[in-house]
Amino acid sequence: IMGTRLAVGLWSDDDAAGERAVEAVLGEMRRVDALMSHYKPESQLSQINQRADREAVRVDPELAQLILRAARLSELTGGAFDITYASVGYLYDYRAHTRPTDAEIAAGLGAVDWRHVIVDQEASTVRFSRTGVRIDLGGIAKGYAVDRAIAIVQDMGIVHASVTAGGDSRIIGDRFGRPWIVGIRHPDDPDRVIARIPMVDASISTSGDYERYFDEGGERYHHIIDPGTGRSAGELRSVTIIGPDATTTDGLSTSVFVLGPERGLELVEKLGDVDAVIVRRDGKVLYSSGLGEPP
Ligand code: AMP
Ligand code: MG
């Protein structure tokens, strides 16, 4: 679902109730995907991309709210996080190994600016201020779906659970009296773990250059795009963010990846309620002060 692998683990005293909770998680993931997928032409997100340059497109308040949340993150990150990156981003096809020419990037960049997206909360509509704008919530939607899923199992009375969608996880409670352990993988080897983080009541997201990419002429073309250049952000291999909720950690892992090590860590330290593990291109691993340098 959402083009990624899901994992749900939870504790219930009652088998049937546990199964129902797992089903509810899957159902919620499918619902969010149907609303926000940019692959599905009938999704509300695709409706925005098809029509919002000409008219205000009515959407569910939930989608309008998430677009506003993305805009707040754009403001916070000085535009490193920007859902209009897709105005250029759609020209990359990582499976087909195709990418835009310099001229195509230059032509598309004018449409990349989160301020081109105008949300009317009262009317629950979205409109673009110019043509050529496209949006994509891939940098935040999985974390959002994970948060929604956790809220639903909590409503069902579950107090110990872990929900993961791709690189985004949220954990409530503990696992048989101990923390849940989440591993951060090595960027070049899915079976090698560079750090193990014990977690209780927290979220963790990893963004990496190994998720969707192709290599050509010694360059890696991957799915995290610097909105300033229209090209893959080049300084880091992966960014892991630990924080209170998965929408936050998902959005921030993508953001810090674009910001790079110095500006990225500066933002993490400023925010205070999040931590980061950053793998630089040269392999060096950096930790925010809340985690400390492990021995
Ligand atoms: P993640 O795996 O959470 O790091 O998100 C990567 C996804 O975020 C990509 O596949 C795109 O859908 C989207 N994305 C890429 N670059 C940006 C950016 N600069 N701002 C917001 N979303 C982005
Ligand atoms: Mg993300």
17 C-alpha to center of ligand 2: Å?
31
Compute the distance between CA of residue 100 and CA of residue 166 in angstroms, rounded to an integer.
27
Does any ligand 1 atom lie closer than 6 A to the CB of residue 225?
A: yes
Compute the distance between CA of residue 45 and CA of residue 33 in angstroms, rounded to an integer.
10
Does any ligand 1 atom lie closer than 6 A to the CB of residue 230?
A: no
* DSSP E strand boundaries for 86-217: 117-120, 125-128, 161-165, 168-172, 180-186, 189-199, 202-208, 213-216
143 C-alpha to center of ligand 1: Å?
12
Compute the distance between CA of residue 130 and CA of residue 274 in angstroms, rounded to an integer.
35
Q: For residue 115, give the nearest of 65, 172, 169, 68 by alpha carbon.
A: 68
Residue whose CA lies nearest to ligand 1 atom number 2:
207
Q: What is the DSSP string of 48-106?
A: HHHHTTTSPEE--HHHHHHHHHHHHHHHHTTTSS-GGGHHHHTT-BTTTTB---HHHHH
Q: Length of the chain in residues, anyone?
A: 295
141 C-alpha to center of ligand 2: Å?
8
The tens-digit pLDDT sequence of the chain (295 residues) is 888 899 999 999 999 999 999 999 999 999 999 999 999 999 999 999 999 999 999 999 999 999 999 999 999 999 999 999 999 999 999 999 999 999 999 999 999 999 999 999 999 999 999 999 999 999 999 999 999 999 999 999 999 999 999 999 999 999 889 998 999 999 999 999 999 999 999 999 999 999 999 999 999 999 999 999 999 999 999 999 999 999 999 999 999 999 999 999 999 999 999 999 999 999 999 999 998 765 4
**Amino acid 233: pLDDT:** 98
105 C-alpha to center of ligand 1: Å?
17
**Amino acid 2: pLDDT:** 84
**Amino acid 55: pLDDT:** 98
**Amino acid 258: pLDDT:** 98
**Amino acid 295: pLDDT:** 46
Which ligand has the nearest atom to the CA of 167? 1
Closest ligand 1 atom, CA of 82? 20
Closest ligand 1 atom, CA of 250? 3
